[in-house]
Structure 1
Amino acid sequence: MSAQSTTSNRIVIVGGGISGLSIATQLAEAGLPVTLLEASRLGFGATTRNQGWLHSGAWFAPTQIELARKCSESFQKTMTFCPECVEPNSGTMVYLTADVGTDPSRWTKAWEAAEISYQKLAYEGLAKQFPNLSIPRTAHAYQLPDRAIRTDVLLHRLVVASQQAGAEIRTDTPVARLIQHDDRILGVETIRGEQIFARLVILAGNAKGGALVPGFHTHTAGRQTDVEFVVLKAHLLALRPELCQRPFCIVDADGFSHIPHRPNSILGLNRWLPVGNGDDTQVVPAEVERIWEQVERFFPSVRREEHQALSWAGSTVQAMSIDDVEPGRTPLPTVVDHSQEAPALQNLLSVFSGRASLWAHLAMQTFQTVSEKLELTTPQTNMPPWCSSRKEDYGEPYMAAKPQNSILYHCQKCGNVVCRESDSIQPVCCDTHMEEACECSAETQYSDLETLTAIDN
């Protein structure tokens, strides 16, 4: 095969999750031709099928201040880019201690260092918010910005943004192999035999993407690398009816967390099991039992037979710098340039988000790597919609998605998040920047709208 006869300016992204779509948007906004290929439906391979916890960075602050700050920035970008993804009526997250001996100052000092806002809650108010939660009066409680979100809504918003930016999105298009000539990747071949040539291929499909590069996620003889790959599995438990409406995390009880998604409660622990295969989704009964034990500890009135229960497991492959690998440490967003690996492969990148909440950081980091590799010299004039339109603010959190002097509401009739300016008469969709009326605005009164109090000007 002649490499010269198969050149293309296209960038191919393999993987249609939040990471792949945000990268597609960022690159397409820069004027690059982008084709995204997803093996099934968009978001199908979402890590652990998502608990829907949008991290503010508070959980990571005591041990990884850099990660906490990145989460805080990405949190702001998510909330301004897609406020409608917030789970309505759930409120912000409450961080709790359960044991008398737990010193909360370890957490509060870390939040202050990371510049993450928090508010101490009195026990009396806590009891009202969580009437069925059994916690001692000595418990410490703090309100943090973390939110329960609907990842499918965020995914849809990214699909729209990427297509508006000019990216081509193709679903039900599994990639069978990389097209290679000597040490150069020339594109991909689909399972149907279609060859798609590219200037650069970006693997954003976690375990699926790594499978296209044999031995990449494993140690093989003669292979040299600056990154270590970790394959981790977590378990979640869904209960119906929901246990309560507010998200919470008990920091000294294995990070026992509750994320409400009406009519379900999604519960999990901060436990990630090392496994050997990124496709490993087999449920370990002992791990599910651990979650149940915490449910029954903190909700003693719960009877298993009175709830519909569904448990599942999901695995994720992440990359960590050799210097950062240590037990309990959470991976940061990482872009692996295969031309710097041994054996080297040109025109190939693999991306790893670290945590799903960090999608905006990963998109920016990938864009910077692509710019360096392709030696882009033309300044980017169009920024992705989660970034400021001013070049000097690029990469910083911004609050431009919502018109000034406006209030966000959740419409209980049509399910949309709607935005009302202080002097307007009818609620209109925030997503369309005051240009299109909410579908049910003609029959919806303001009394039917419930304020999303966490989003301020």
Structure 2
Amino acid sequence: MVVVGAGSTGAAIAHDLALRGFAVTVVERGEVGSGTTGRNHGLLHSGARYAVTDPVAARECIEENLILRKIMPEGLELNGGYFIALTPEDMDFRQTFLEGCEAAGIPTRELTKEQLLRMEPRLSPKILGGVMVPDGVFEPYRFCLSFLASAQARGARVLTYHEVEGVLVEGGRTRGVQVRDRIRGRELTITADAVVNAAGPWAAKVAATAGCRVPLILAPGVMIAVGVRYSHRVVNRLAPPGDGDIIVPQRFTSMIGTTSWTVQDADLIPIPPDHVERMMDAGEAFFPGFRRQPKRGVFAVARPLVGPEEDQAEGEGFERAVTRDFACKHHEAEGAAGLFSVTGGKTTTSRLMAEAVVDQVGRWLGFERPCQTRTEVLLPPRRFFTERVVS
């Protein structure tokens, strides 16, 4: 088996495949988690963000949140999160929000303004109240390393800085991949019974080398890290998903995001200056003085959302309503049996995505074994370097 991509999705798929007895090679054009995964908040979703707008994604998030707490004991900061009302309209949304959380199985606790300010004294005194949910925080790079270390312990091979130049297809059947070692400058052919394309926003480009199409919406978002950890817990706005409505504490920084628009090329994402201004204004509304803090990083990367079969249009706004669910497309009807492309989802649901993908691949190969990743405790991320097989 070949897995293309070593972000959270590819890493989780490699781990699941290895646990089920497959021989696995992961190829990644850059460093582990250097694409979409490495440029996200690091938010372990409770699902509350999607409880009203995307109930399916909300239920998946809370279920996976609880599983990850058990299988990744060293990789998570289980600090919780708040949804905070800044306006009377936010307070009006609270009941709808609570009902959505209850329907999705997400535990909540209502908090008064006074309680919130006691727990998070840097919050604006203008807040009106809020709700506590079981959000958490992870470090994206180490998140991926835990899955990959566990896969390597089962014999998987991880080749970073190996870029796929073509998916090999003969007689309507996928035979492997042609890759270029970007460090040594050599070409390699890796044969496989099946190829799982988990290249995130580059999945369409990988599939195109086999003459296949992946329905994909590339939805970048701007995120900013400032050099102060403003809160102990994750801070969300008590409102439907919008711009600048999450601030995640990451070590000694606070990361705010995100905006959203669509593009056609994941490698060409200029950061709009007005998006940066909107993020800083949004941060100021939560934490007075936020705008004055030094920026430690300003970045954007495309989220690979499940797209329609017809071509997408560029623009801003509609992608907020697109499901955060995931899809796995088998390209058999396009003449590339054994090529599977994965899109959508979130880092929080990467284990679930992997389970569904490996189930599908196993059925097609006639090699069906039960998934073990719901209970298999992952190795610490540092083991990635001691378990690594050098090619």
Unpaired segments ≥5 residues, structure 1: 1-10, 390-399, 402-415, 418-430, 432-457
Deviations 1:416-456 (A, max 9, x none): 99xxxxxxxxxxxxx9xxxxxxxxxxxxxxxxxxxxxxxxx
Q: Aligned match of 2:198 in 200, 204, 208?
A: 204
Measured against aligned partners, the alpha-carbon deviations of 1:256-293 in whole angstroms (never above 9, x if no partner) come to 11111121111113x32111112233211111110011
Residue among 362, 366, 376 paired with 1:371: 362
Give per-residue Cα distances to partners, 1:32-57, cap 9 Å, x unaligned: 11111122221112346121111111
- The alpha carbon displacement at 1:193 in A equals 2.1
Distance verdict in 2 for CA 1:281–1:80, change over 3 Å: farther
- Equivalent residues in 2 for 1:131-280, closer than 5 Å: 131-136=121-126, 139-191=128-180, 192-214=186-208, 228-252=215-239, 254=243, 256-269=245-258, 271-280=259-268
Query: How far apart, in 1, do the equivalents of 2:359 and 2:375 lie?
Result: 17
Task: Give 1:330 deviation, angstroms.
Answer: 2.5
CA distance in 2, matches of 1:200, 1:215: 15
- Code of the aligned partner of 2:162: T
User: How many angstroms apart in 2 are the aligned matches of 1:273 and 1:207?
Assistant: 14
Could you say what the CA RMSD is over the residues aligned between the two structures, in angstroms?
Answer: 2.8
- 2: distance between equivalents of 1:310 and 1:255? 15
Deviation at 1:182, TM superposition (A): 4.0
Aligned to 1:3: none
Deviation string for 1:113-162 (max 9, x for gaps)?
A: 1111011112222112222221536x231110011211222222112211
- The aligned counterpart of 1:420 is none
Q: Is 1:357 paired with 2:348? A: yes
* Mean Cα deviation higher: 271-280 or 67-76: 271-280
Larger gyration radius, structure 1 or structure 2: 1
Aligned to 2:336: 345
CA-to-aligned-CA distance 1:298-333 (integer Å, 9 cap, x gap): 3333452x524421111122324669x975122312
The separation in 2 between residues aligned to 1:290 and 1:303, in whole angstroms, is 10
Aligned to 1:36: 26
Structure-1 separation of matches of 2:344 and 2:67:
15
Equivalent pair of 1:14/1:36 in contact (CA under 8 Å): yes
More relative contact order, 1 or 2 (CA 8 Å, 6+ apart): 2
**Is 1:281 aligned to 2:247, yes or no?**
no
2 CA distance for matches of 1:369 and 1:321?
21
SS, match of residue 121 in structure 1: strand
TM-score (norm 2): 0.86
* Whole-angstrom distance in 2 between the partners of 1:161 and 1:51: 24
Superposed CA offset, 1:331-363 (max 9, x none):
3121111113xx332221111242121101111
Bigger proportion of residues as helix:
2
In 2: Cα distance, 1:299 partner to 1:316 partner: 27
Classify the secondary structure of the residue corresponding to 2:208: coil
Alpha-carbon offset, residue 185 of structure 1: 2.1
SS at 2:162 equivalent: coil
Deviations 1:79-106 (A, max 9, x none): 111132223xx72101111111332111
Stretches of structure 2 lacking an aligned partner (at least 5 in a row): 181-185, 313-317, 384-391
Write the distance in 2 (CA, Å) between the matches of 1:17 and 1:308: 25
User: Aligned to 1:83, what secondary structure does the other structure show?
Assistant: coil
* Secondary structure at the counterpart of residue 94 of structure 1: strand
Q: Matched residues in 1 for 2:244 and 2:179: separation? A: 42
Residue from 23, 40, 44 that aligns with 2:13 = 23
Question: SS of the counterpart of 2:11?
Answer: helix
Deviation by residue 1:382-429 (Cα, 9 ceiling, x = unmatched): x43x4147xxxxxxxxxx88xxxxxxxxxxxxxx99xxxxxxxxxxxx
What is the letter of the counterpart of residue 193 of structure 1? E
The secondary structure found in structure 1 opposite 2:74 is helix
Tell me how far apart the structure 2 counterparts of residues 352 and 212 of structure 1 sit (CA, whole Å): 12
Amino acid at match of 1:344: G
Is 1:100 aligned to residue 91 of structure 2?
no
Conserved in 1, the CA contact under 8 Å of 2:45 and 2:136?
yes
Aligned residues: 367
Normalised TM-score (structure 1): 0.74
Q: 2:81 & 2:362 partners in 1: Cα distance?
A: 38
